[in-house]
Amino acid sequence: MQCLEKTITIVNKLGLHARAATKLAQLSQQFDAQVTLTLDGNEADAQSVMALMLLAGGQGKSVTIKAQGNDAQIALNSICQLINDKFDESE
């Protein structure tokens, strides 16, 4: 089973706050893949809103996304797109 990894910078002003974490968790749940985010040595299951919020990912922080499973590539691409799109928030 392939394990993919990509490091990306959080670009939205508010970082990985409640609404952004919820969007990311809901997106992660759509895929047949185990997705984790790592920031400053802390790891979080991408399907857990609380775990994502505990990462305290602020603007400008680099987060490493790991995806493993049948949908690993699409999950990784979709999550990177969501982060690059600033979680679809108007700032």
DSSP SS3 for 50? helix
Active-site residue, from 4, 8, 14, 17: 17
Q: For residue 12, what are its two tokens?
A: 């939205």
Positive or negative: CA dihedral 55, 91, 72, 47: positive
17 an active-site residue? yes
Tell me the β-bridge partners of 38. Answer: 43, 64
d(CA 79, CA 81): 5
Could you give the residue numbers annotated as active site?
17
